[in-house]
DNA sequence: TATTATTACGTTAGGCGTAAAGATT
DNA sequence: AATCTTTACGCCTAACGTAATAATA
């Protein structure tokens, strides 16, 4: 029967051309290779080499056999990788959310409830999240609206998040009790990176505004402190009231800015999201 | 690294469901299987089993791994078969002829010239022979006409064969010095099986005749002896003159019935057909 | 002489089976 | 009690490396 380890030696010989080079590459002795090549020949049940006294090379059959050997080794490797990947996927809970806030709550909950499993999360669009959950690529999805259309999908309401705009003293909107995104249109804004659907929502509702998207939190805070650019906050962060010194937080009343999140998962994963 | 023998044990276990059944099937002991299953688990680098105290079964990952194991074993088997087949093809000379007579001469010649190679022959139509030689499916072809159209094909004239019709005494054609197949049209004929293009030639030139095709040589001879049905002979058989007692052999003058055979082979095989 | 494959040989790791233990139905 | 898996242990094959041999360029 074929032996993958010997096939690896055979493939190495096919690449190197001589047993001695192959033995160096494989960190084994030449006699071992001599023997292994005989085993491979026996296993294939055909002559694979042209042997002269001081030289061994593949014959036509050997060249074919070497191709098959490499293919088998490749397939074996693929199999191992696939099995390991599957195994890992079983031990991982993957979450895709349309916004970061619900993750701040959900991820710790999951870690505590499933301490032996790895939690992996990412931000995506609603459509990507829905299809990933349906395909099974993703265990849990978090949307900003119910997911009623799809059969076999479990949907439960989760946390709410309300948007506020933070204006510096003296800003035209300073005295407002509430605003809509439409009112903000035209004012330039600071935004954080990686805030999910919020970015798109702002760009859509405030087409005349420019958005300065900050990746670094320190730089973001510095710009909030030193500029009069608008910025946002929500009640999902720890201290909404006094987060940005010297700024007022005004509720944004658009329905899209006051979100009821929904957790979805496929029916067979429903144990993941039930309390 | 994966080991195909252990994968075979793994696959057997996957089919049997218990180690003991698998051990019986494989004619090895149970402890060996216990060990091999651990090796397989190590090689895949993932847990593949649900172990209770006296029960072991595949987990989800194990089921996947078993599928891959079976696939790999199948691929390995295919590889061995393919290599052996290729090896055998190198040691075999395949000949396809449009008629048996040239084979009677050529096959002994080839056997003598290439005693270490197996000779395999078959009868085919001219078109099949040409394409098989071009594709390389077949090493040597024998046609009843030159093969001039194709590049890279070596063509050399071979033996000739002339057709005679054998009539019993008192037959309407008994006194003829020569005949054409057209003259024979309407008379029923005995034919042997496996005579290549001759069958089609007769059917084409003698559409009004019926042909009694005999597979068994003894039965054929018996019918020749006891009936007045026409039969044929050619000068390619050993004793054309006195082959069928009580019958006269009359030359058939159609050009298609007096054949110059041609041997063809691809250019790289020309050593096979040169004297 | 340097390089290469092969043979010979001694060591040892590991694969196998037997026997026994532990657990379940 | 019967069945099944696992552990323990001893045997022995076979895989490995070293050293030596043979042949070539």
User: What confidence tens digit (pLDDT) does each residue in A147-156 have?
Assistant: 877 788 999 9
Which of A144, A130, A140 minimizes the C-alpha distance to A98? A144
pLDDT at B241: 53
Rounded distance between C-alpha atoms, residue B11 and residue A256, angstroms: 55
Rounded distance between C-alpha atoms, residue A95 and residue A264, angstroms: 10
Nucleotides of C under 7 A from a protein CB: 3-9, 15-19, 22-25
Most B CBs within 10 Å, among A61, A69, A73, A116, to test the B interface: A61
pLDDT at A242: 60
| SS3 category, A75 | helix
DSSP type of residue B270: G
DSSP type of residue A223: H
Start-to-end C-alpha separation, chain A: 53
The answer to whether B254 touches B260, Cβ cutoff 8 Å, is no
Cα of B2 to nearest chain A Cα, Å: 7
In this complex, the answer to whether residue A39 has its CB under 7 A from any atom of chain D, a nucleic strand, is yes
| SS3 category, B71 | helix
User: What confidence tens digit (pLDDT) does each residue in B182-206 have?
Assistant: 999 999 999 999 999 999 999 999 9
Listed by range, residues with Cβ under 7 angstroms from strand C are A 18-21, 30-31, 34-35, 37, 49, 51, 54-56; B 5, 27-32, 35-36, 39, 52-55
In this complex, the answer to whether residue A107 has its CB under 7 A from any atom of chain D, a nucleic strand, is no
pLDDT at A54: 87
Q: Which two tokens stand for residue B217?
A: 């040589």
Q: Exposed, middle or buried: residue B59 (CB in 10 Å: 0-12, 13-18, 19+)?
A: middle
The answer to whether B130 touches B241, Cβ cutoff 8 Å, is no
Q: Exposed, middle or buried: residue A186 (CB in 10 Å: 0-12, 13-18, 19+)?
A: exposed
CA→C1' distance for B56 and D2 (Å) = 18
DSSP type of residue A268: G
Q: Exposed, middle or buried: residue B211 (CB in 10 Å: 0-12, 13-18, 19+)?
A: middle
| Residue spans of chain B under pLDDT 70 | 239-242
Other C-beta atoms closer than 10 Å to the C-beta of B27 total 6
**What's the rounded mean pLDDT across residues A26-41?**
92
pLDDT at B274: 85
Most B CBs within 10 Å, among A80, A81, A84, A91, to test the B interface: A80
DSSP type of residue B130: H
User: What confidence tens digit (pLDDT) does each residue in A221-272 have?
Assistant: 999 999 999 999 999 987 655 678 889 999 999 999 999 999 999 998 889 9
Measured CA distances, B255 to B99, B176, B261 (Å): 16, 18, 13
**What's the rounded mean pLDDT across residues A104-130?**
95
pTM of the model: 0.79
């Amino acid at each position: 029967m074929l032996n993958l380890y010997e096939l690896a030696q055979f493939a190495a010989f096919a690449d190197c051309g001589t047993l001695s080079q192959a033995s160096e590459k494989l960190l084994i002795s030449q006699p071992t290779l001599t023997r292994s090549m005989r085993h491979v020949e026996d296993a294939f049940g055909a002559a694979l080499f042209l042997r002269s006294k001081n030289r061994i090379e593949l014959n036509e059959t050997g060249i074919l056999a070497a191709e098959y050997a490499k293919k088998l080794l490749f397939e074996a490797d693929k199999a191992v990788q696939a099995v390991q990947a599957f195994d890992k996927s079983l031990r991982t809970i993957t979450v895709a959310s349309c916004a970061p806030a619900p993750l701040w709550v959900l991820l710790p909950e999951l870690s505590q409830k499933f301490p032996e499993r790895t939690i992996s999360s990412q931000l995506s669009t609603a459509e990507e999240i829905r299809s990933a959950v349906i395909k099974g690529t993703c265990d849990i999805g978090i949307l900003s609206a119910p997911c009623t259309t799809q059969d076999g999908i479990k949907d439960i309401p989760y946390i709410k998040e309300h948007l506020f705009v933070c204006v510096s003293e003296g800003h035209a909107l300073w005295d407002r009790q509430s605003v809509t995104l439409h009112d903000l249109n035209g004012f330039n804004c600071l935004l954080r990176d990686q805030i999910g659907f919020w970015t798109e929502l702002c760009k859509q509702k405030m087409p005349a505004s420019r958005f300065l998207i900050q990746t670094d939190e320190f730089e973001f805070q510095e710009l909030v402190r030193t500029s009069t650019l608008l910025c946002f906050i929500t009640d999902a962060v720890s201290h909404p009231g006094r987060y940005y010194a010297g700024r007022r937080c005004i509720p944004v009343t658009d329905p899209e800015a006051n979100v009821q999140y929904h957790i979805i998962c496929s029916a067979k994963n429903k144990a993941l999201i039930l309390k």
